């Protein structure tokens, strides 16, 4: 059952891999390629919703597992849904809890029926079935709900990867059967590790079902970037051209651009916020580690053309804030990194429209992904 309140249009339809599109959903319109800041527990760490919006973000992400534990999906529903609860009025995508099957593997057990967690907060038991994952997301009221999938670390034995892929396909069908909220779009998640034949089987199984979009999951979990790019390039041809493609949990600015070059439309990652809290800034000239002594007397902003809150100040001042353990330092650098990611997306869309994306990408390689010289 596809959503009647969700649509995706390629603008214009094109045969090139990098593509422009537009998502329409109940809480607004999103131009793609798009990067979604991660608001795991209903907040993008350190920023108000107004500050998040000022970065240029149009869509954010929340997490089923974490919100189910605290404050609870029934409470969020009672208070009007995640949009009203948080104050963010744009589109929201909710992850299903599948990534926590991987990231919290020490406190969960996976069977055919469910992923059962021991809460990392108080030890309470949480049984997350595909059906319950969808019910939680329907209570949260997100625009896009992800299916529950089984994510495994890479590298892993082929048998383990194959079993997780097949389970993910069965769970996806159960999620679709459980869905009752027509205005909420449902995205499936392709699994299969680094094995292209498994990725193809996963894609064929999922595209036979009426989903609104398709994600490439289970990457950026330990494999080298070159392997990730190889798998993305091999997987996207098996996905429908007329539906959005979402690369989950990725990544560095260069990873986003490499994904776009291979036909990806949507991204999310904690990298800009997590690194911002730890004094690392992303710029067009590479990464800047503000704790380095060379910035102690540097009067320059991180980027003279960046409109973010941090770039109103010198590198010297930003470094001082971190050294003094002032909370303003992580706030400012989080705002900068999220603004920079949106600027990267804006420029990518501009280059795609001009037909110059590939040449532009080749000039970014070895620059924005390396330490600033």
Residue 16: pLDDT above 90? no
Determine, yes or no, domain membership for 237.
yes
Determine, yes or no, domain membership for 339.
yes
Percentage of residues of the chain with pLDDT beyond 90 = 87
Q: What does the pLDDT average to over 329-334?
A: 98
The structural domain count of the chain equals 2
Q: Which of 255, 265, 268, 369 is catalytic?
A: 268
- For residues 291 and 240, state if they share a domain: no
Which pLDDT band, with edges at 50, 70 and 90, does 75 fall under? very high
- For residues 54 and 198, state if they share a domain: yes
Nearest to 309 by CA among 135, 93, 54: 54
What is the Cα 302 distance to its own chain's centre? 25
Question: How far is Cα 187 from Cα 23, in angstroms, rounded to an integer?
Answer: 13
Where does a domain end: 269, 290, 314? 269
Determine, yes or no, domain membership for 306.
yes
Question: How far is Cα 295 from Cα 275, in angstroms, rounded to an integer?
Answer: 17
Determine, yes or no, domain membership for 11.
no
pLDDT of residue 41: 95
pLDDT of residue 119: 78
pLDDT of residue 161: 96
Q: Output the pTM of the full model.
A: 0.96
pLDDT of residue 38: 98
Q: What does the pLDDT average to over 121-135?
A: 90
Strands (E), the chain: 7-10, 21-25, 28-32, 34-36, 60-63, 92-95, 108-110, 115-118, 125-128, 144-146, 185-190, 213-216, 245-247, 266-268, 280-283, 286-289
pLDDT of residue 2: 80
Determine, yes or no, domain membership for 230.
yes
Where does a domain end: 241, 269, 297? 269
Based on the number of CB atoms within 10 Å of its own CB, is 233 exposed (0-12), middle (13-18) or buried (19 or more)? middle
Report strand pairing: 7-10 vs 21-25: antiparallel
Determine, yes or no, domain membership for 130.
yes
What pairs with residue 126 in β-bridges?
117
Q: How many CB atoms lie within 10 A of CB 9?
A: 13
Question: How far is Cα 316 from Cα 24, in angstroms, rounded to an integer?
Answer: 43
- For residues 81 and 215, state if they share a domain: yes
- For residues 55 and 77, state if they share a domain: yes
Tell me the DSSP string of 258-307. Answer: HHHHTT--EEE-SHHHHHHTTTEEEETTEEEETTSGGGTT--S-S-TT--
Determine, yes or no, domain membership for 65.
yes
Residue 229: pLDDT above 90? yes
- For residues 202 and 281, state if they share a domain: no
Q: What is the CATH number of the domain that holds 107?
A: 3.20.20.105
Could you tell me if 211 and 240 are in contact, meaning their C-beta atoms sit under 8 angstroms apart? no
Residue 47: pLDDT above 90? yes
Residue 246: pLDDT above 70? yes
Is 50 labeled as catalytic in the residue annotation?
no
Determine, yes or no, domain membership for 19.
no
Where does a domain end: 238, 269, 300? 269
Could you tell me if 221 and 239 are in contact, meaning their C-beta atoms sit under 8 angstroms apart? no
pLDDT of residue 288: 98
Residue 123: pLDDT above 90? no
Q: What does the pLDDT average to over 190-217?
A: 98
Q: At 135, which helix (H) or strand (E)? A: helix 130-140
Longest Cα–Cα distance of the chain, Å, equals 60
Which residues constitute the domain of residue 336? 276-364
Give per-residue pLDDT as tens, 348-361: 999 999 999 999 99
Nearest to 67 by CA among 51, 52, 85, 47: 85
Which pLDDT band, with edges at 50, 70 and 90, does 257 fall under? very high
- For residues 188 and 50, state if they share a domain: yes
- For residues 265 and 287, state if they share a domain: no
- For residues 36 and 183, state if they share a domain: yes
Q: What does the pLDDT average to over 171-199?
A: 97
Nearest to 45 by CA among 207, 274, 218: 274
User: In sequence order, which residues have a C-beta less than 8 Å from that of residue 229 and are 6 or more positions away?
Assistant: 258, 259, 262
- For residues 46 and 113, state if they share a domain: yes
Is 268 labeled as catalytic in the residue annotation?
yes
- For residues 260 and 283, state if they share a domain: no
- For residues 262 and 172, state if they share a domain: yes
Nearest to 140 by CA among 52, 60, 214, 217: 60
- For residues 257 and 299, state if they share a domain: no
């Amino acid at each position: 059952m596809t959503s009647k309140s969700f649509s995706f249009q390629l603008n214009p339809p094109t045969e090139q891999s990098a593509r422009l599109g537009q998502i329409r959903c109940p809480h607004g319109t999103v131009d793609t390629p798009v990067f979604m800041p991660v608001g795991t527990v209903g907040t993008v760490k350190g920023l108000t919703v107004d500050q998040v919006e000022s970065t240029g973000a149009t869509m954010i992400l929340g997490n089923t597992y974490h919100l189910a534990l605290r404050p609870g999906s029934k409470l969020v529903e009672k208070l009007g849904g995640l949009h009203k609860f948080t104050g963010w009025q744009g589109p929201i995508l909710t992850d299903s809890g599948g990534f926590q099957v991987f990231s919290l593997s020490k406190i969960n057990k996976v069977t055919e029926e469910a992923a059962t967690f021991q809460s990392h907060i108080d030890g309470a038991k949480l049984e997350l079935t595909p059906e319950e994952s969808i019910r939680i997301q329907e209570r949260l009221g997100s625009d896009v709900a992800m299916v529950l999938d089984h994510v495994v670390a890479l590298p892993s034995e082929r048998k383990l990867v194959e079993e997780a892929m097949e389970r993910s396909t069965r769970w996806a069908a159960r999620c679709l059967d459980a869905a009752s909220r027509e205005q909420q779009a449902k995205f499936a998640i392709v699994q299969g590790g680094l094995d292209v034949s498994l990725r193809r089987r996963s894609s064929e199984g999922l595209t036979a079902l009426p989903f609104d979009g398709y994600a490439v999951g289970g990457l950026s979990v330990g494999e080298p970037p070159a392997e990730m790019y190889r798998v993305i390039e091999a997987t996207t041809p098996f996905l429908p051209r007329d539906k959005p493609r979402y690369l989950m949990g990725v990544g560095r600015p260069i990873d986003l651009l490499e994904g776009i070059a291979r036909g990806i439309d949507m991204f999310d990652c904690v990298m800009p916020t997590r690194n911002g809290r730890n004094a690392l800034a992303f710029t067009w000239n590479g990464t800047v580690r503000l704790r380095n002594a060379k910035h102690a007397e540097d009067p320059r902003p991180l980027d003279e053309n960046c409109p973010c809150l941090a770039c109103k100040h010198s590198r010297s001042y930003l470094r001082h804030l971190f050294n003094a353990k002032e909370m303003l330092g992580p706030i400012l650098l989080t705002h900068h990194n999220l603004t920079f990611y949106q600027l990267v997306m804006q420029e990518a869309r501009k280059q795609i429209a001009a037909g110059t994306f590939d040449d532009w990408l080749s000039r970014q390689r070895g620059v924005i992904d390396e330490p600033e010289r």
